[in-house]
């Protein structure tokens, strides 16, 4: 009897872990696609598409929109994603570590840089959106 209980417990744990890992893989893929779209839209200076990647209730939404309205006309930049790693879920929020570089093609004086960030994501109408970002480190690459 104990043997069957242990086997049942191991099967339950195995199934539970598979569900958790599968969920993490799905969230990782969704968040990765979201940051890719954010970089694509930002590089293309497509304000509407870029704003669609942001959560409309984010405290940073209006500030990001206003900053982009000033920066898009002044610079042509290329963005390169170095890494995106899903960190985990906490309530309604997801966290990911995101490293990317911005390099000037044309425009006003600009310091090329690479940012190491933690992005916070929150769902809006069933889709993950960027809620906020904290910069961990910035490296200026054209010095």
Domain ranges of the chain: 2-140
| CB-neighbour burial class of residue 43 (10 A; exposed 0-12, middle 13-18, buried 19+) | middle
Of 74, 95, 75, the closest CA to residue 86 belongs to: 95
Residue-averaged pLDDT of the chain: 89
Mean pLDDT for 11-22 is: 47
Question: For 2-140, CATH number?
Answer: 3.10.450.50
Of 83, 76, 59, the closest CA to residue 136 belongs to: 83
Evaluate if residue 89 carries a pLDDT over 90: yes
Neighbours of 130 (CB within 10 A): 23
pLDDT (0 to 100) of residue 94: 97
Residues 39 and 100 sit within 8 Å (Cβ to Cβ): yes
pLDDT (0 to 100) of residue 12: 56
């Amino acid at each position: 009897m104990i043997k069957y209980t242990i086997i049942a417990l191991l099967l339950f744990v195995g199934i539970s872990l598979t569900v958790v890992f599968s969920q993490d893989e799905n969230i990782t893929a969704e968040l990765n696609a979201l940051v890719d779209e954010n970089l694509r839209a930002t590089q293309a200076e497509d304000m509407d598409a870029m704003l669609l990647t942001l959560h409309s209730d984010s405290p940073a939404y209006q500030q990001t929109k206003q900053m982009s309205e000033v920066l898009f006309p002044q610079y042509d930049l290329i963005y390169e994603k170095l890494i995106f790693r899903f960190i985990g879920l906490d309530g309604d929020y997801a966290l990911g570590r995101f490293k990317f570089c911005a390099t000037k093609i044309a425009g006003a004086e600009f310091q090329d840089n690479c940012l190491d960030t933690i992005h916070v994501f929150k769902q809006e109408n069933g889709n993950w959106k960027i809620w906020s970002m904290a910069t961990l480190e910035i490296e200026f690459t054209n010095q």
